[in-house]
Structure 1
């Protein structure tokens, strides 16, 4: 049998197999997918990070059939359910007790018949002691005294996560005062301070702009020369 005859036989067998195959074999999965009813998904979801916790917030989708939102993480081994409140424009879930790591969350909406939406994915990190241990107080460069006032000179601050520094001092009437010093301010002048009592200060940080919690260093004391 020559090559041409072999080719003809192969083509005949191939057409025979195709003829015996049900017509819907090749698009069966597509038909099942097309018959599935999907409800509206979450489109604008955002994460607010915190100390071993996160809050996920979203705008309610326009689909009125949605009755709940389920948020999954850890490969869907953990989840939390939000029951739809149609009187509110925004929904949210607070997830606590998280270890300090990055998570992938999938939010899926459901209607009362169990039909679901396509997942909306968001990645967010929970913070904790590892981040806390990286924080350092702002550093005083020098102080000077003149006419009953104290000028504190600060080293320039380069930390992107620092918000400000809280400074506490005792005034000349014996009252404790607290002032907030922006991180871009390099000089602080205090006029009513009792110079015999040390000042104390600590710095305040947030790990990301959308943060639930602030992180604080321990108070340092400083004696005015």
Structure 2
């Protein structure tokens, strides 16, 4: 499937279901082993985010990114690069995810073209509306819960951030971010998100495959309950 096909809105909603974000410094064992187990468990999208203390740089960073991309491509999982547009283009990644402190979304869209996925982090309604105007394909909303994984993370916004966006008419695909586990993933999708993105809920699990399966089951159960309860 091409990146342009992945950008179709309904398909993208499905791909955001269980979204693993990971760099080498997030893993307790080999990143390739973690990714393989997570794919077996059912992740639907993968983001390479090599940031923070102990992150790889230079050739080592590129080499790992290439290996992870190849595994994703082999298994039909979209491969997204966090923030680094040049790396994404060099790897022919399926898309890019940027935060509010990164390059402007409109400029990123210009650089990556129309065929690649563009995700933008949004903390509140104004940031979400700006991301949509500037070419985002999906929103990463949060942090919804307290998290220590991102060293400069904002205070948790709570599930109300997602609910408010839906109430105000935002229909763009949304993935919840920040502090999400299998215990609260169902709440995230019931609030209006299409899926959840996680780091340590998978990368620090004793069995990454089982942890992924638990997340996927929680998301699917939450979506069913949302549909039955009439939540849009």
**Which fold has the larger relative contact order, with Cα–Cα distance below 8 Å and residues 6 or more apart in sequence?**
2
Structure having the larger proportion of residues in helix: 2
Structure having the larger proportion of residues in strand: 1
Query: What's the TM-score once normalised by structure 2's chain length?
Result: 0.21
Rg larger for: 1
Query: What's the TM-score once normalised by structure 1's chain length?
Result: 0.21
